[in-house]
Structure 1
Amino acid sequence: MEKFFISSIGGFLSWLVGGWSLLLTVLLILNVFDFGTGMAANWGNISSQKGFKGIIKKGLMWVWVAIANLIYMVLADQGLTVGQVIPDAVAVMFILNEVISLGENSAKLGVSVPEPIQRALAIFQKNIEQKEKESSK
């Protein structure tokens, strides 16, 4: 019975976010890294209230991923072919947000963002802008 319950919840959550993808895997891993580096960067000033707020913020990211997928499904149901660009763009936006936050936490710990990562972020941003222009046509 518990296997049925767990698989039902997993199936529903997968449907809610539009199926599990590489983008969501990366976002989840970055959520964990950011939370950990945030705790390390603020060691000595850690409070349960700050930690709870951080967890709520991470949860809200996933709510927005789900909302983006629901909007995509409604538009697809109405015959509008916008593709997967809406949920993917939201996931990529949050990935960039997490990487920026990781950079801030790293700077607090005395480690700068490596140059190849900075270049990759610039390419990432350029691709997002290009996809947004293509989807608005």
Structure 2
Amino acid sequence: MTNQLREYGVNLATAAVGASGKEATIGGYIAAAGLFLSGLLGGWDMALKVLLVLMVVDYVTGVLGAAKHKKLNSDVMYWGGIRKMVVLVVVGLGAMIDDWIQPGAPIFRTAAIYFYAGREGLSVIENLGTIGVPLPRAIHEFLTQLNEKGGGSDGKNV
């Protein structure tokens, strides 16, 4: 038992510190990429964090809903990921426009983040309904109306 604890401690310390210069180099590249992307997206604030979490939750719940209904499709998943990347490009462009027109006033970036966070939130709720999570009647009726107005069965045409 003591040897297992010692081995666990050594593994934990090695993971925290890094076993080699190669791990430190890879970590440095990842940190540099994160810093670059954060700067490109206009900073790492709560609005961007919320958007990114909603994007991940939407993707995961979409995959779970497709798996439940046995409609998993790698092409749909691929293009769903591409759409998420395009959203980030729009946020980045909004940040660049803000810096160009009036530095320090993130109007376009904020509008883009709020718009896409709203869409992602609606999509998460729709995916939860698809998975079978009970939704309040008002939300269910609202999503039904959106699907009818959008003309599609997946609500993505809204």
TM-score (norm 1): 0.73
What is the CA-CA distance between 1:86 and the residue it aligns to?
1.4
Residue of structure 2 in register with 1:133 after alignment: none
Counterpart of 1:87 (choices 85, 103, 109) is: 109
Residue of structure 2 in register with 1:109 after alignment: 131
What is the CA-CA distance between 1:113 and the residue it aligns to?
4.3
What is the CA-CA distance between 1:28 and the residue it aligns to?
0.9
Say yes or no: does 1:53 pair with 2:75. no
**Counterparts of residues 66-85 of structure 1 (less than 5 Å):** 66-76=92-102, 83-85=105-107
What is the CA-CA distance between 1:104 and the residue it aligns to?
1.2
Between the aligned partners of 2:28 and 2:62, the Cα distance in structure 1 is: 36
CA deviations on 1:20-44 (whole Å, 9 max, x unpaired) are 0101111111111101110111111
Say yes or no: does 1:10 pair with 2:30. no
What is the CA-CA distance between 1:110 and the residue it aligns to?
2.7
Structure having greater relative contact order (Cα 8 Å, sep ≥ 6): 1
Structure 2 unaligned spans of 5+: 1-24, 140-158
Say yes or no: does 1:99 pair with 2:125. no
Corresponding residue pairs, total? 112
Q: CA contact under 8 A between 1:31 and 1:98: conserved in structure 2?
A: yes
- Structure 1 stretches of 4+ moved >6 Å: none
Q: CA contact under 8 A between 1:30 and 1:98: conserved in structure 2?
A: yes
Taking only aligned residues, the RMSD between alpha carbons, in angstroms, comes to 2.0
What is the CA-CA distance between 1:73 and the residue it aligns to?
0.8
- What fraction of aligned residue pairs are identical, expressed as a percent? 29
What is the CA-CA distance between 1:112 and the residue it aligns to?
4.5
Question: Residue 44 of structure 2 aligns to a residue in which SS?
Answer: coil
User: Comparing 1-10 with 29-38, which one deviates more in the overlay?
Assistant: 1-10
What is the CA-CA distance between 1:91 and the residue it aligns to?
0.5
Code of the residue aligned with 1:36 in structure 2: it is: V
TM-score (norm 2): 0.64
Structure 1 unaligned spans of 5+: 119-137
Question: Residue 42 of structure 1 aligns to a residue in which SS?
Answer: helix
Code of the residue aligned with 1:45 in structure 2: it is: K
